[in-house]
């Protein structure tokens, strides 16, 4: 089933309002096994009619948002009637709903301008809006000139659109599409490899799996691979990528790295302490983004200054002097101090040069030592180099640090 979204509203194109409709609807439809084939944003005005006329020729269903208000630049209803080539009538029920909305909220008498919101193309359904004045409209297929395309008109504000989408749009799309044919989708999250790793063989093999659609989404130090299709196709694709990249696979439900770490440690009753210099608290903050992280996370030491490394973790002035703050030795002492002073089972420690300043010939910006230690076991300290912007550096260090914790606790 080919579904398109048409977002209307000048504010969406001027950068004053972030358009989250496509994102939210895409998630809802994916749960139904349905996919958005195209999303278009146009300003208020004639462009709506033009874009809608194009969409109904391509799509089986078009979901239009915005332009259902009472003001002169709310033209979605009119544009739809023109595209369909049918008249509009005032819907009695919609008028009553409008009047009761105003009286129920003590807004007093309804302004006459709002009557415009009760106009619907002949033969269309009115979709009730318990959260605002603008009723939605559903135009079933084969009404007017819209050929086989179904059209949904929904209000722009998310708090009005989202309940209406769930209550009115989803059931109709189910009926129109016949869900059992729809495919499933899983999202495999990999940390520690780049998108390019996938095209060295894997990519071609995935293409050969019948009925499998897939797509990558690469972020800093992270790749999400989405597999879409029938259960067999997805299973085959998963076997293929796991054979190659198993140790980089963090989750198969889109769960972020920090959530996986918290859940693994909680399941084993382990606690974590963080000792951060160059990441400045980012690792602790990511861990505490996860509900229930208080089960595993106790102490976070943000030792930005050398003095703090001595005060808070007992790093020796001598080591700071001899090896420098960014060194394997200091990283090891940070681990030892974090374990001793927190009593946690596992400690992670990072010290590096975030830049832009502070780099040198033998210790360039981007150099970082990432250490991990489990009580009673030997520490492991990695030396990495992540040049680039300061926030990118911090993020990549936190990725590697959290992934090391993930691997350590298994």
Which residues, 17 to 46, sit near its own copies by CB under 8 A? Answer: 17-20, 22-30, 35-44
Cβ–Cβ < 8 Å for 317, 244: no
Shortest distance in whole angstroms from residue 325 CB to its own copies? 10
159: contact with its own copies by CB under 8 A: yes
Supply 369's token pair.
Answer: 């030592």
Contacting residue, 121, 229, 237, 355, with its own copies by CB under 8 A: 355
Cis check: omega of the bond before 378, within 30 degrees of 0: no
| Residue 187 CB partners (closer than 8 Å, separation 6+) | 224, 225, 226, 227, 252, 253, 254
369: contact with its own copies by CB under 8 A: no
219: contact with its own copies by CB under 8 A: yes
Contacting residue, 342, 351, 399, 404, with its own copies by CB under 8 A: 342
Q: Is the dihedral of CA 360, 361, 367, 373 positive or negative?
A: negative
Q: Report DSSP state, residue 340.
A: H
Distance in angstroms (rounded) separating the CA atoms of residues 187 and 189: 6
Q: Report DSSP state, residue 247.
A: G
Shortest distance in whole angstroms from residue 43 CB to its own copies? 7
Q: How far apart are the first and last CA of the chain?
A: 42
Max distance between CA atoms of the chain, in angstroms, equals: 86
Cβ–Cβ < 8 Å for 138, 166: no
368: contact with its own copies by CB under 8 A: no
Contacting residue, 53, 220, 235, 255, with its own copies by CB under 8 A: 220
Cβ–Cβ < 8 Å for 354, 393: yes
Pick from 198, 245, 238: nearest CA to 218 = 198
Residue 123, SS3? Answer: coil
Considering only the stretches 9-17, 137-145, 331-339, 370-378, report the one whose residues sit in contact with its own copies under the rule CB under 8 A.
9-17
Identify residues 313-332 at the interface with its own copies (CB under 8 A): none
Shorter beta-carbon distance to its own copies: residue 144 or 156 = 156
Q: Report DSSP state, residue 180.
A: G
How many amino acids of this chain bind its own copies (CB under 8 A)?
Answer: 118
Shortest distance in whole angstroms from residue 229 CB to its own copies? 13
187: contact with its own copies by CB under 8 A: yes
- Within 13 Å, how many C-alpha atoms sit on residue 10's CB side? 6
Contacting residue, 99, 226, 264, 363, with its own copies by CB under 8 A: 226
Identify residues 70-89 at the interface with its own copies (CB under 8 A): 70-73
Q: Is the dihedral of CA 77, 175, 228, 188 positive or negative?
A: positive
Identify residues 191-210 at the interface with its own copies (CB under 8 A): 195-200, 203-204, 207
Shorter beta-carbon distance to its own copies: residue 85 or 292 = 292
308: contact with its own copies by CB under 8 A: yes
166: contact with its own copies by CB under 8 A: no
Shortest distance in whole angstroms from residue 154 CB to its own copies? 15
Identify residues 262-301 at the interface with its own copies (CB under 8 A): 274, 276, 279-285, 287-289, 291-294, 297-301
Shorter beta-carbon distance to its own copies: residue 124 or 257 = 257
Contacting residue, 57, 267, 305, 317, with its own copies by CB under 8 A: 305
Contacting residue, 354, 370, 372, 381, with its own copies by CB under 8 A: 354
179: contact with its own copies by CB under 8 A: no
C-alpha distances out from residue 295 to 261, 273, 282, 287, 410, Å: 12, 12, 19, 11, 18
Identify residues 372-401 at the interface with its own copies (CB under 8 A): 385-392, 394
């Amino acid at each position: 089933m080919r579904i398109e979204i048409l977002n209307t509203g000048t504010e969406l194109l001027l950068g004053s309002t972030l358009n989250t409709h496509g994102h939210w609807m895409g998630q809802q439809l994916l749960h139904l096994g349905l996919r958005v084939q195209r999303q278009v944003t146009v300003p208020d005005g004639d462009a709506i009619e033009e874009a809608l006329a194009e969409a109904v020729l391509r799509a089986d269903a078009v979901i239009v948002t915005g332009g259902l208000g009472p003001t002169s630049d709310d033209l979605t209803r009119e544009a739809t009637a023109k595209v369909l080539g049918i008249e509009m009538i005032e819907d009695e029920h919609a008028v009553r709903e409008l009047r009761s909305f105003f009286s129920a909220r003590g807004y007093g008498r309804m302004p006459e301008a709002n009557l415009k919101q009760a106009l619907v193309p002949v033969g269309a359904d009115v979709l009730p809006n318990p959260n605002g004045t603008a009723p939605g409209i559903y135009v079933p297929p084969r009404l007017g000139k819209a050929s086989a395309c179904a059209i949904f008109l929904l209000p722009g504000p998310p708090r009005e659109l989202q309940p209406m989408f769930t209550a009115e749009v989803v059931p109709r799309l189910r009926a129109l599409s016949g869900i059992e044919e729809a495919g499933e989708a899983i999202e495999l999250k990999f940390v520690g490899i780049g998108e390019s790793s996938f095209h060295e063989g894997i990519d071609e093999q995935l293409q050969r799996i019948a009925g499998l659609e897939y797509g990558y989404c690469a972020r800093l130090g992270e790749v999400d691979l989405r597999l879409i299709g029938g259960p067999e196709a997805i299973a085959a694709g998963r076997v293929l990528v796991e054979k190659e990249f198993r140790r980089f696979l963090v989750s198969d439900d889109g769960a972020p790295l920090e959530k996986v770490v918290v859940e693994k440690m909680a399941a084993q009753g382990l606690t974590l302490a963080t000792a951060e210099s160059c990441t400045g608290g980012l690792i602790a903050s990511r861990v505490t983004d996860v509900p229930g992280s208080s089960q595993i996370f106790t102490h976070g030491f943000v030792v930005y200054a050398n003095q703090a490394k001595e005060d808070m973790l007992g790093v020796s002035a001598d080591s700071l002097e001899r090896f420098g703050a960014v060194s394997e030795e200091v990283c090891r002492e940070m681990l030892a101090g974090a374990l001793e002073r927190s009593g946690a089972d596992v400690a992670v420690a990072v010290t590096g040069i975030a830049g832009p300043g502070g780099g040198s010939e033998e210790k360039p910006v981007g150099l970082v030592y990432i250490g991990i230690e489990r009580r009673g076991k030997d520490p492991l300290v990695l030396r990495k180099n992540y040049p680039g912007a300061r926030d990118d550096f911090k993020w990549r260090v936190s990725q590697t640090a959290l992934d090391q914790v993930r691997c350590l606790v298994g």
